[in-house]
Amino acid sequence: MRRLLRKRPALGMALLSGTATAVGIAISLAIDWFPDAASTASKDIDNLWDVLLIASVPVFVLVMSVALYSVFAWKVKPGDTSDGAPIHGHTKLEVVWVTIPFVMVTALALYGWVVLDDIEAKEKDPLIVNVTAQQFAWSFEYPALDKVKSNQLVLPKDRRVELRVKTKDVIHSFWVPEFRLKTDTVPGLTTKVRVTPNRLGRYDVVCAELCGIGHATMRQAVRVVPPGEFQGWVSERKQRAGDGGVAAAGGDTAVAGKTLFADTGCTACHTLADAGSEASAGPPLDDLTKDAAKFGKREGQSAEEYVKTAIEQPEAFVVPGFTKGTMPDNYKKNLSSAEISTLVKYLSDVSGKETK
Amino acid sequence: MTLATKLRGPGWYRAAISQPIAFLFAFGLVALVRSLYGWDPVVDWEAITTVALITMPLGFIVGIGCFDYWFRWAAGAPTVPEDHSGHGATKWQDYFKVNTDHKVIGIQYIVTTFIFFVIGGLTAMLIRAELAQPGTQFVDPNTYNGLFSVHASLMIFLFIIPVFAGIANFVIPLMIGAPDMAFPRLNALSFWMLPTAGVMMVASFFVEGGAFATGWTAYAPLSTEMPVGQQFFTLGVQFAGASSIATGLNFLVTIITMRAPGMTFWRMPLLVWANFTTSLLVVIATPFIAGSQFFVLLDRSLGTHFFDAGGGGDVLLYQHVFWFYSHPAVYIMMLPGFGIISEVISTHARKPVFGYRMMAFSLVAIVILGFTVWAHHMFVSGMSDWLRVPMMITTLLIAVPTGIKVFSWLATLWRGAIHLTTPMLFALGFITMFTLGGISGIMLGIIPVVIHVSDTYFIVAHIHYVLFGGSVFTIFAGIYHWFPKMTGRMYDESLGKVHFWLSFIFFNLTFGPMHFVGVDGMPRRVADYADEFATMNAFISVSSFFFGLSFLVFLYNMITSWRNGPKAAANPWRAHSIEWQVSSPPPIFNFDEIPTVVGGPYEYGVPGAVHAVFKEEGAPAKATPAPAGGGGAPPPGE
């Protein structure tokens, strides 16, 4: 190789760069870049990404090869006073390196445009979900399904969904990494995301735009379920029935409560050792029994009544040191009474406990 | 000198006295107005802070003496005849005074901005310490949000933008054969606005509610609702911006009107071209960020509704106005670096810059295209859908002029006589890292990709590849390259190389992995993150601490070399451009006789070629025939 480089530098370099390009492309494609793909858009975007990698590696290898080759070939010792070749330019070469990048980026832009049209395509009769963001929680409403409300986004698999996203306060950003889709929530506007989930599972809605101190922890559950199960879930919500997720947790209230606590987004604002959350927008719930004893007594409430009131009417009493209006007051509407009971029971049980 | 004269004359004593006076003025004004309106409480600390944030910096600048000459002139008082006592530095104390010498101002800029670079770097270390593990360890979320906001604001407004102005301040007048900048007093004012802006931003940590915590982007309506610390950003940016605009204007006039005889536009070194184009961007774009922040200020302080959707305001308006500056600002932070790299590569590879004219045209192309791409920061913002595709196309097209530059630098290396000095190493590091940043930039230009990766760590990785691997590497290259000229001493070459390799390696270990966590789903600007990213973040944090330490090598090298380094020759790099044809450091008034430019600036390897000669005007200057490819057109009339 060394001899080849010295004797036929152009050929040697081309061989080296070709190998490096092939290896680079192989490695970059082998890397598992993305989270699970859970929507039809994911596949399109992941393919586009692969094309971008294939186009990028040769460019980078070319730059590196020329730079490294020049250094190795024409490095001089300190004190050497010779000059390089007085080459001022080369018109043909310059035309080439204007044209090729131009063609490349134009092609990529067109491809990007096609993918964009694809993933945002309108389809007939989508399932419409109204999404509302506020500091620091998401809530969801299904207008065509009796205005069912929820704190988790539950979606049927393989159905086109149109999410209409609004905010009550500042800008947030609705993002489900597994769907690869995102839109900011803008005060005064309704923005849209169209998505067709195609993989069953539980994912997170992540807030992607800085929205205040609870931003990092502002996440709630998205569940993609089979259409049949979705219908069941909807009718359960309609009757505001159900058992608060206890059966799904195998009858274990503690597990059901912990799941509900995370999926509802309580973890965005409250520290609770048992749930592993460390957020500080709202009072730490590890002190809940203490707080209930201290503040609940004034109203003549039992500890459990105090917790229930705190969820259903957060304005009724604000723990000193925290601001009134921080906690959304829509949990009574969004959660079923069984869910609230599950939460109250869970919180009363685990408060003050150290994590196992 | 008695204390009374000290207090009356310009300087630190008067500046110190001005502070309580300015504060009392703010206090009195707010109390007076509020009591006239019958508002309760009369003493409103947020309002007082806001007014004081205007009066105190102004008081400082007046006190230190930036306005004395103009005030006397405006008042019709006899002006003090210019005795040049405020020009040039003979002792270190002179660097702490209002000085009109572009070389002194250049050093003032560079040292001040590096101090803020250190503060910004320390905030980065705290950020990485907090992110080393998921959960909350060292700082609460509010402080964390303040840390990264101050980090970005300092690095952008108090380091990268002004340090380039500092380097250019020192070098440009020398390069074009001018005795100084066109407006030396304005130049001094530009400098002194800068530390006030920086001190304001840092001071925000000490007010109630903590530092501004809305990112350097300060998106409304979050910024109109946050505690009083936000005002420190809103107003700090005004001072940094005014400084920038005044400097930009100064460079434009200097470059247009003060070039030496024979220095046609096509004979200007590319650093001059770079600063010319940058200054155009600064002068046109910077008023937009000033506007956006004034709107925020008015919404906060006077209850206007620019960004209050409920009151008829338009939230997206903020982002459009903000990015109409802040995208060109990316080029404000990059074009001067392009200029530095052209100088460094050509000089240390002993070759003419390849395709000189295309290099200059591509700068102009970037300026023009740079104004047509701002909304690519808003692809998921909810703005008009149709605007996205045109902005995607213009964004990707910027790759063409940028590509011209990268390929031309490579072609300049080709068949050169390459000296692997520290500036050259940083230039090579820049080319490779900037190419990576450019590639991720193309990816970010393509809408379906950015819908997924916007506001993730992929963005953080991209911006650091462009701004650290890009801009800061060029700054290091420039500092090492002109260190002998600025200080009259040589830096330690081995330490310089150690600094390069440490920062190059740990830069990649720190920011490289961020690409992966970003695409994998980790949002940016978070104090806490999902456990799945823990390993990668721990690795990034450890790398970042070593990366931070590598800077100490640079600092040590600079300080010891400045004090005790070997004396530098006038032209240690055997460069052709004019700044190297005078002593190191240059004489106070730069030139005993004005040089005449007779050829291109990079005629390395052309037998007998010179860029400029020091001859009395009228004497026949020896001109070299213009070589193909430009750079050496004969002077007009020859």
Phi-psi region of B314 (alpha: psi -120 to 50; beta: other; left: phi over 0): beta
In one letter, which amino acid is B513?
P
Domain end marker among A197, A224, A251: A224
Same domain, A307 and A249: yes
Say if A254 falls within a structural domain. yes
- Name the residue facing A184 among B382, B408, B414 (closest C-beta): B382
Give CA–CA dist B337/B357, Å, rounded: 18
Average pLDDT of chain B? Answer: 93
Q: What residues make up the domain containing A214? A: 124-224
State pLDDT tens for residues B175-226. 999 999 999 999 999 999 999 999 999 999 999 889 999 999 999 999 998 8
Report the residue of chain A nearest B227, measured CA to CA: A212
Q: How many CA atoms lie within 13 A of B7 on its CB side?
A: 6
Same domain, A111 and A153: no
Higher pLDDT, A318 or B260: B260
Residue A2 has pLDDT above 70, yes or no: no
Of the listed ranges A219-223, A312-316, B45-49, B130-134, the one predicted with least confidence: A312-316
Same domain, A183 and A102: no
B448, A115: Cβ pair inside 8 Å?
yes
- Name the residue facing A33 among B400, B519, B530 (closest C-beta): B519
Say if A350 falls within a structural domain. yes
Distances (CA, A) of A16 to A24, A69, A93: 12, 10, 22
State pLDDT tens for residues A119-155. 999 888 999 999 999 988 899 999 999 888 888 999 9
Same domain, A247 and A197: no
Residue B399 has pLDDT above 90, yes or no: yes
What per-residue confidence (pLDDT) applies to B1? Answer: 64
A175, B455: Cβ pair inside 8 Å?
yes
Same domain, A216 and A248: no
Domains of chain B plus CATH, in order, are: 3-71 (no CATH), 92-564 (1.20.210.10)
Maximum average pLDDT range among B83-92, B404-413, B616-625: B404-413
DSSP run (H or E) holding A202: strand A201-207
What per-residue confidence (pLDDT) applies to A333? Answer: 80
- Name the residue facing A88 among B136, B392, B631 (closest C-beta): B631
Residue A273 has pLDDT above 80, yes or no: yes
Same domain, A99 and A17: yes
Query: A354: pLDDT confidence band, cut at 50, 70 and 90?
Result: low
State pLDDT tens for residues B450-471. 999 999 999 999 999 999 999 9
Segment B519-538 shows an average pLDDT of: 94
Share of chain B above pLDDT 70, in %: 96
State pLDDT tens for residues B218-274. 999 999 988 899 999 999 999 999 999 999 999 999 999 999 999 999 999 999 999
Say if A275 falls within a structural domain. yes
- Residue A327 and residue A269 in contact, taking contact as beta carbons nearer than 8 Å: yes
Residue B622 has pLDDT above 50, yes or no: no
Same domain, A112 and A134: no
The CATH number linked to A342 is 1.10.760.10
Same domain, A253 and A335: yes
Say if A133 falls within a structural domain. yes
Give how far A201 is from chain B: nearest CA, Å: 16
Give how far B423 is from chain A: nearest CA, Å: 14
Same domain, A8 and A108: yes
Predicted ipTM of the assembly:
0.90
Say if A289 falls within a structural domain. yes
Distances (CA, A) of A208 to A23, A43, A134, B231: 34, 21, 13, 25
In one letter, which amino acid is B306?
F
Judging contacts by C-beta atoms under 8 Å, the chain B residues touching residue A48 are: 446, 448-449
Average pLDDT of chain A? Answer: 88
Residue B371 has pLDDT above 80, yes or no: yes
The domain total for chain A is: 3
The CATH number linked to A187 is 2.60.40.420
Task: Please report, for chain A, how many H helices and E strands are present, in that order.
Answer: 10, 10
Judging contacts by C-beta atoms under 8 Å, the chain B residues touching residue A215 are: 141, 145, 525-526
Residue B442 has pLDDT above 90, yes or no: yes
- Name the residue facing A74 among B215, B225, B416 (closest C-beta): B416
Distances (CA, A) of A46 to A161, A206, B448: 20, 20, 10
Say if A11 falls within a structural domain. yes
CB pairs < 8 Å spanning A and B: 282
State pLDDT tens for residues B565-606. 999 999 999 999 999 999 999 999 999 888 999 999 999 999
State pLDDT tens for residues B306-355. 999 989 999 999 999 999 999 999 999 999 999 999 999 999 999 999 99
Give how far B382 is from chain A: nearest CA, Å: 6
Mutate to test the interface with B, among A13, A68, A77, A105 (most CBs of B within 10 A): A105
Domain end marker among A196, A224, A252: A224
Same domain, A136 and A213: yes
Phi (first) and psi of residue B337, to 5 degrees = -65, -40
State pLDDT tens for residues B287-311. 999 999 999 999 999 999 999 998 9
B141, A216: Cβ pair inside 8 Å?
yes
Domain end marker among A192, A224, A256: A224
* Cβ partners under 8 Å of residue A245, min gap 6: A256, A259, A260, A339, A342
Say if A81 falls within a structural domain. no
B358, A80: Cβ pair inside 8 Å?
no
Q: Is A177 on the interface with B (CB under 8 A)?
A: yes
Of the listed ranges A300-314, B30-44, B123-137, the one predicted with least confidence: A300-314
- Closest by CA position to B348, among listed B289, B431, B441, B462: B431
Segment B428-451 shows an average pLDDT of: 96
Cα B162 from chain centroid (whole Å): 4
Q: Is A9 on the interface with B (CB under 8 A)?
A: no
Query: B629: pLDDT confidence band, cut at 50, 70 and 90?
Result: very low
Judging contacts by C-beta atoms under 8 Å, the chain B residues touching residue A108 are: 396, 442, 446
Q: What is the DSSP string of B27-89?
A: HHHHHHHHHHHT-S-SS-HHHHHHHHHHHHHHHHHHHHTSSHHHHHHHTTPPPPP--STTSS-
- Taken as a whole, chain A contains a residue count of 356
Same domain, A254 and A201: no
Segment B405-433 shows an average pLDDT of: 96
Angle at B298 between CA B295 and CA B302, to 5 degrees: 160
Same domain, A110 and A175: no
Say if A82 falls within a structural domain. no
Query: B621: pLDDT confidence band, cut at 50, 70 and 90?
Result: very low
Other beta carbons less than 10 A from residue B394's beta carbon: 20
